[in-house]
Amino acid sequence: MAGQAARLVLLAGVATLASGSQGDREPVYRDCVLRCEERNCSGEALNHFRSRQPIYMSLAGWTCQDDCKYECMWVTVGLYLQEGHKVPQFHGKVSLNAWFWSTVFHTKDTALTEKMDYFCASTVILHSIYLCCVRTVGLQRPTVASAFRALLLLLLTAHVSYLSLVRFDYGYNLAANVAIGLVNLVWWLAWCLWNRQQLPHVRKCMAVVLLLQGLSLLELLDFPPLFWVLDAHAIWHISTIPVHVLFFSFLEEDSLYLLKGSKLD
């Protein structure tokens, strides 16, 4: 146990120099997973695991290796708490299409579902920027909106290509999404402030962009799961549901306002 504690302290000092989640890099966790897979994931032991596995987990693609990773995660968490260290993060984290792939990813974490979750999240933010461009510029200058749409598609293609073909860099992906999120925030917020007297319903849009930016802190400032069930990422997902309802209400009122204006013209 003393040797394990020493390795935990050593790891804490160099964690920021490596990539991936701290828990995944922990030697105790890696050793535990290796021993578990050797003990449980072959021969009769594997048959026993499959025979007692609930059917819903089998349908979700939950494997013996996944089970080992899950069990060893809690072993490592217990060791961290026993030694007085902060609980590490494991398996690092990020429109209806985005929600669909997020659900798939959190049901079954694979390289493909992880990429689809992250890529669709980036697409949602870029689409929001495009909507802002259409609302603020495109109604008067549709060619500008079309050119801007082509630029956003080019940026998305480059982003996805780099992460898929060169290197899946979690740090870069986070920085890129924070950057485009700030562009989305500033652009929408500036337009809302400029039109807040003329268009009272833009206050809903202001509330949406500020709430989403505030809730994004849950993605950046991670913490151990509440009751070992709801972590920061899960709470972020739950919290964004009413925000999207509010944004739809803004879009509905704004569309009716534009429709009324077009009839008067």
Which of helix, strand or coil describes residue 226?
strand
pLDDT digits (tens, 9 = 90+) for 4-29: 433 333 333 333 333 445 666 778 88
Cβ contacts of 114 within 8 Å, gap of 6 or more: 105
Phi and psi, residue 197, nearest 5°: -80, -40
* Long-range CB pairs of 151-160, under 8 A, 24+ apart, other chains included: 152/126, 155/126, 156/122, 156/123, 156/126, 159/119, 159/122, 160/119, 160/122
91 φ/ψ angles, rounded to the nearest 5 degrees? 50, 60
DSSP-based three-state secondary structure for 230: strand
Which has the closest alpha carbon to 178: 138, 219, 144, 210? Answer: 219
160-219 confidence digits (pLDDT tens): 999 999 999 989 998 999 899 999 999 999 999 999 999 999 999 999 999 988 888 887
DSSP structure string for 96-143: HHHHHHHHHHHHS--HHHHHHHHHHHHHHHHHHHHHHHIIIIITT-HH
Above 50 in pLDDT, residue 1?
A: no
pLDDT at 41: 92
Across the chain, mean pLDDT equals 81
Whether the pLDDT of residue 225 is over 80: the answer is no
pLDDT computed for residue 21 by the predictor: 59
Q: Which tokens belong to 27?
A: 């030697």
Contact 233, 174 (CB under 8 A): no
Is the model more confident about 23 or about 54?
54
Rounded Cα gap, residues 2 and 82, in angstroms: 12
CA–CA gap between residue 132 and residue 64 (Å, rounded) = 47
Q: How far is CA 252 from the centre of its chain?
A: 27
Phi, psi of 262 (to 5 degrees): -70, -35
Instruction: Provide the pLDDT for residue 3.
Output: 41
pLDDT digits (tens, 9 = 90+) for 63-85: 898 888 888 888 887 787 777 77
The verdict on pTM exceeding 0.95 is no
pLDDT at 62: 81
Give the CA distances from residue 227 to residues 82, 223, 224, 230, 231, in Å, rounded to whole numbers and listed in that order: 17, 12, 9, 7, 9
